[in-house]
Chain A
Amino acid sequence: EAGVAQSPRYKIIEKRQSVAFWCNPISGHATLYWYQQILGQGPKLLIQFQNNGVVDDSQLPKDRFSAERLKGVDSTLKIQPAKLEDSAVYLCASSPPGVLDYEQYFGPGTRLTVT
């Protein structure tokens, strides 16, 4: 089966610019996650969707980050305006219905560099 798709794979922007990342989960997966992985650290959950509703966004910096999952399939994560400390890899993951949420399948990530 096709895996989790993400685009773009790489993005370089200047601080105060905006950027958007796209994720297409595995077909049929109800739960979708966005993680931020800063260099040298493990991934940190930013937001979790169940279908098109937000389950947990407690770690999302809402003053600059936003995410949506229209129609319960694809998702977009946006940063506006970007800061230097937002440089990281942004990972999308999904998990199927009917199993425990920890069985998450990860995409290859989008590497963001803010200059």
Chain B
Amino acid sequence: AQSVTQLDSHVSVSEGTPVLLRCNYSSSYSPSLFWYVQHPNKGLQLLLKYTSAATLVKGINGFEAEFKKSETSFHLTKPSAHMSDAAEYFCVVSDRNQAGTALIFGKGTTLSVSS
């Protein structure tokens, strides 16, 4: 079965410093991986996705993630944090089966950004 593990439940950074949110995955086949962001009282928004093309994936708002098969990791990074980046971030793997496609979410990482 597919699964993801987000290694940090809470990450705190200062505005203008780099962001690193860590995610490891487990998959019996080549996975599709995603990062979603959830701002308070707003819907989940897709940040970026990896679907077996380029291993370095660029997303919205300056975020990017690198797929590393040897490390089974898909960490999310951003060179310089902004106050508006404060939110909940979910690492997600798709689980294709005969019934369809389910998204398997990690438990989330809360990103706090201080001025």
Contacts and interface: CB of A to CB of B under 8 A. Distances in A.
Interface residues of B, number: 23
Interface stretch (B44-52, B62-70, B72-80): B44-52
Nearest to A3: B43
A60 interface: no
A43 B106 CA distance: 8
Given A41-B108, A56-B99, A56-B100, A103 B46 contact: yes
A40 B10 CA distance: 11
A42 interface: yes
Interface in B15-64: 32, 34, 41-46, 49, 51
Nearest to A101: B101
Given A55-B99, A56-B102, A101-B101, A42 B41 contact: no
Interface of A: 3-4, 31, 40-45, 48, 50, 55-56, 58, 91, 93, 100-109
Contacts of B99: 48, 55-56, 58
Nearest to A102: B94
Contact of A108 (B43, B97, B100, B108): B43
Contact of B100 (A3, A50, A103, A106): A50
**Top 7 A-B pairs, shortest CB-CB distance:** A42-B105, A101-B101, A56-B99, A106-B44, A55-B100, A106-B43, A102-B94
A108 B41 contact: yes
Contacts of A44: 105
